[in-house]
């Protein structure tokens, strides 16, 4: 008696990741990575703005948040 334990592959030959197509998961990972990079850039910008306010008080604000 044989059972079908073969992985469910797409017609492209990739293994499925859970119920999802691999391209969907890769896209989700790229979006997540971009959000992490955006959060890091926002944190560096906020820290830089705070340092700039201490070093050169007054003047026009370029970063307003």
Rounded-to-integer distance, Cα 4 and Cα 15, Å: 15
pTM of the model: 0.72
- pLDDT tens for the 65 residues of the chain, in order: 555 656 678 888 888 888 899 999 999 999 999 999 999 999 999 999 999 999 989 888 888 87
Rounded-to-integer distance, Cα 30 and Cα 65, Å: 27
Rounded-to-integer distance, Cα 65 and Cα 54, Å: 16
- Residue from 38, 43, 34 nearest 63 by CA: 43
Residue 51 pLDDT: 93
């Amino acid at each position: 008696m044989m059972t079908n334990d073969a992985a469910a592959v797409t017609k492209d030959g990739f293994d499925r990741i859970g119920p999802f197509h691999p391209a969907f998961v890769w896209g989700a990972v790229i979006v997540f990575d971009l959000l992490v990079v955006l959060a890091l850039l926002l944190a560096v910008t906020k820290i830089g703005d705070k340092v700039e306010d201490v070093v050169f008080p007054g003047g026009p604000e370029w970063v307003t948040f």
